[in-house]
Amino acid sequence: VNIYSLPVEAALTRHPAIARAVVVGRPSAVTGEEVCAFLVPAPGHTPSQAAAVEACDLVARDLAPAHRPTAVFWEPDIPLTDRGKPDKRLLRSRAEAGTPRPGAPPAPGR
């Protein structure tokens, strides 16, 4: 199944606790590739497992269960390329390593 990032990111940011979302794929032994989400909390919100689960539930409900992120990483901000776009290459390497940015809040996952 091809999963495009923009609809997943849009669904994630419909949750009031999430200001920004970027999704990338990482290898999976089960499905070939799985969706990983990097989330920036909205002002006044603290990263939480509950918010991550609720946002992922929105994705599954509004799009399809296959679009649901299987891992969530909370970030203080999304790293950008020199052109001002999300650095998906860097985020993909973090997702594959299973590690958030140094100093990031604890990362709940599913």
Residue 110 lies in a domain: no
Residue 46 lies in a domain: yes
Residue 23 lies in a domain: yes
Whole-model pTM over 0.85: yes
Please check the confidence at residue 103 and state whether its pLDDT lies above 50: no
CATH number of the CATH domain containing 48: 3.30.300.30
**Host domain of residue 72:** 5-89
The answer to whether 84 and 20 have CB atoms below 8 angstroms apart is: no
Residue 99 lies in a domain: no
pLDDT tens track for 1-27: 789 999 999 999 999 999 999 999 999
Please check the confidence at residue 95 and state whether its pLDDT lies above 60: yes
Residue 18 lies in a domain: yes
3-state secondary structure 18-66: EEEEEEEEEEECCCEEEEEEEEEECCCCCCCHHHHHHHHHHHHHHCCHH
CA angle, 9 then 13 then 14, to 5°: 120
Residue 10 lies in a domain: yes
